[in-house]
Structure 1
């Protein structure tokens, strides 16, 4: 595949000055409700050694090297992750403590007709087709690392990635790693001072870097006549400074099997060089009444095993889903009434995830237990932290989950700092 006359332009919504490079969304302050099991908020290492990860995180706070040090983390999940509130509540305090290496992976979700986190935008001119990893009607193209692919209907590309903020600041970035359909000729032409770098070069990844921070990057170019359309998967937006990169990959309705079906998914995740991979799936599996424990165990392995093989430098954290509820109906005096009852199959999913983690010496965070265990979905709903469907949380509910995950990570990190061992 070849592109002709491809250039990259940068557009800033506000003045792009070095002082804005560290600007971050602060998010909303949340308080943790009393019905959570705070004493259960621990990570079970199951024999996994996290000392190398914590050592690298520790070095970020004392490093004086001129070469940036990056600790990359990847969080993979379903609709709970796609919304972005949960992961933002983990990412921002990590970056405040250890350094901000950038927004990380952003995916053109809105262009694929689904919801997108509030702190970035991907906007395109012209008409584009798309594919999503969930839903049979979206299988005309192959999705990439973020579970999404967007493809221009014409031979013209006009695409803009921007960081957004609740304030007048922006999250500036000096580097972009663009994920796209595998090709050996992307892009054909690029003008100074914005340069293509050879860093981590492979068939589906092209890197760009420059000197001054910007808030927006615009890709504009012409696809050579007769060539197939170019699919774009997303981009990692980075500051070029030392710190944490926290990448989010979330898709509404996703199962473990969803990510196992994405071609070269583990290889693309490996391009982010993660030191920590968090997998938060299982809610959708709990609504599949035909799924057996053995089948689920195999589906977990179909995702986790390739990730471990492709990312040997990474530790893996599996998380369990919280209790949710099933929508049911009954007739009362000839009237159809809707009610909700706890989804008992969450227990099967939770125990299978915990068993897989224990069998393979992987860490596990039991969010089911931390969130309150049996009957907790009713408490979350009454507290206004769970949506009407008793499956999804409100924004505040997700921020509480993120806060608890951050606390669990930091408690384990502090144990390492105090004792020198994380196992």
Structure 2
């Protein structure tokens, strides 16, 4: 089964990169952008080596053990009750249901290259629709990632909300917060900005099932950015108060200053904000693990 996942990625990851390129250039002011640095290859032909590295990650049981700073105790979907319906849809799919399932992930430059989303999608397809071609799969996973995206500057971006309205996704994954912590952070302003963004989401879809992925640890101006943890706290509070789930990437990756360890292990870029392709694929796999742990807790069995 694991080897089958390799072939799934060979087929779908180049398509995801082309799709991301077409969808990610939504209007943002130049000063709002955090550019992807040269460690991200843009040539489709160069992706195969990264696909292979991901396959090796899954195939080698000892791979994750080398990253002792990862916190697997935190690697779970928190406040899962609001998204139980989605996991029950996955269970039906696993049992042969032909009903389509749509996932839509919205994020910043961490999402734009496609490594995170493609890793999650490929792993989910491998488990829930093993042996089904990508074109025939009932599980559809779309993503939009934009350089410099924040809750504030995505709110007037009508293309995102039009897509939510069109897709009516069974699960929305919101992966924002990094850029919200890059300026002069103010908790009250951030709450207002998050409320403004979410109000527009609610206008497009009734009773959405949402998982927030909390932003990873970063640096700002060559120093540890303590505001990221504050952003994480605000997102968790919002999710808890409004009945949504979250995944705490900040703690899963190792907590405060863990970006240094990711950089030392070639998982993060030299700007200490973005990850390397290898790091994004690891992030995607960790998120997949969290999803599957929650799925297992709900339906029983193993994966």
In structure 1, the residue corresponding to 2:105 is in which secondary structure? strand
Partner of 2:113: 83
Q: CA deviation at 1:242?
A: 4.3
Normalized per residue, which structure has more helix? Answer: 2
Question: What RMSD over aligned residues (CA atoms) do the two structures have, in Å?
Answer: 2.4
Is contact 1:255–1:285 with CA below 8 Å preserved after alignment?
A: yes
Partner of 1:60: 93
In structure 2, the residue corresponding to 1:385 is in which secondary structure? coil
Q: CA deviation at 1:39?
A: 0.9
Q: Deviations over 1:126-152 (max 9, x none)?
A: xxxxxxxxxxxxxxxxxxxxxxxxxxx
Partner of 1:154: none
Structure 1, unmatched stretches of 5+, are 1-19, 103-170, 173-238, 328-339
Residue among 281, 292, 298 paired with 2:192: 298
1:97 has 2:130 as partner: no
Q: Deviations over 1:194-228 (max 9, x none)?
A: xxxxxxxxxxxxxxxxxxxxxxxxxxxxxxxxxxx
**Alpha-carbon distance in structure 2 between the residues aligned to 1:367 and 1:76:** 16
Q: CA deviation at 1:309?
A: 4.0
Is contact 2:83–2:210 with CA below 8 Å preserved after alignment?
A: no
1:369 has 2:251 as partner: yes
Q: Which entry has the higher C-alpha Rg, 1 or 2? A: 1
1:259 has 2:154 as partner: yes
Residue among 21, 28, 38 paired with 2:72: 38
**Alpha-carbon distance in structure 1 between the residues aligned to 2:137 and 2:263:** 40
Partner of 1:312: 206
Residue among 323, 342, 345 paired with 2:217: 323
Normalized per residue, which structure has more strand? Answer: 1
**Alpha-carbon distance in structure 2 between the residues aligned to 1:266 and 1:373:** 32
Superposed structure 1 runs of 4+ greater than 6 Å apart: none
Q: Given the superposition, is the C-alpha separation of residues 410 and 308 from structure 1 closer, same or farther in structure 2, using an over 3 Å criterion?
A: farther
TM-score, with structure 1 as normaliser: 0.55
Is contact 1:325–1:343 with CA below 8 Å preserved after alignment?
A: yes
In structure 1, the residue corresponding to 2:111 is in which secondary structure? helix
Q: Deviations over 1:116-173 (max 9, x none)?
A: xxxxxxxxxxxxxxxxxxxxxxxxxxxxxxxxxxxxxxxxxxxxxxxxxxxxxxx87x
